[in-house]
Amino acid sequence: MKYIALFVCLFSGLLFSQDARRFETDIEAFRRQADTLDSNSYDALIVGSSSVRMWTDINRYFPGNDFLNRGFGGSQMSDVLYYADDLIFDIPAKKLFLYEGDNDIASGKSVGKVRRDFKKLLREIHRRIPGTEVYLISVKPSLDQERMDRKKKYLAFNRWLERYCRKKEQFHFINVWPHMLSENDEPRPELFIADGIHMTDAGYDIWAEQIAPFLE
């Protein structure tokens, strides 16, 4: 039985792993930009998956604050780990906002696996840039049925993220999930574009309302 269990464990790791190098084109573009970038001109760095990448007008939501957007669509926390130097550590930032976990769980990863990936990165951040304040944005809901079938996993991950931040002065939790629901506890359709996953301007308004107090 122990060999069967080992096989299942290894197979699951292969099944849900992805080759981070598929983002090499995106990261190379960030590298070229960094060569001419004055990092001191930015007030905050935001890293994450397509919900971050598609927030192209983020600075419009936060007058007086300049964000450096390092979003790359389809990414998971394992990808952020792989490219952490390019995305985070080579760009000194007083404030770092991070959004991952959404695609991770949607791909079939367990909550435990996602937590372990997060812990690896957060420990490195605490060790290498202890002066940076880190703001972890909760996983958001969506209209996509396949993702909402995993609602319990998303909520379990969000609860863990909140507990983790409570124990660490450097880390802060931003819970967008409840603010994107109707009175019936369902995702609000007006917050999402046609694919049911990504957000309209109204969705980003919600995010901005939750993020703004941390910029004051």
**pLDDT per residue over 144-164, tens digit each?**
999 999 999 999 999 999 999
Tokens of 48: 């994450």
pLDDT at residue 216 in the model: 81
Domain range annotation of the chain: 21-215
Residue 77's nearest CA partner among 49, 55, 53 is 49
**pLDDT per residue over 157-206, tens digit each?**
999 999 999 999 999 999 999 999 999 999 999 999 999 999 999 999 99
What architecture (CATH level 2) is domain 21-215?
3-Layer(aba) Sandwich (3.40)
Residue 109's nearest CA partner among 139, 136, 135, 83 is 139
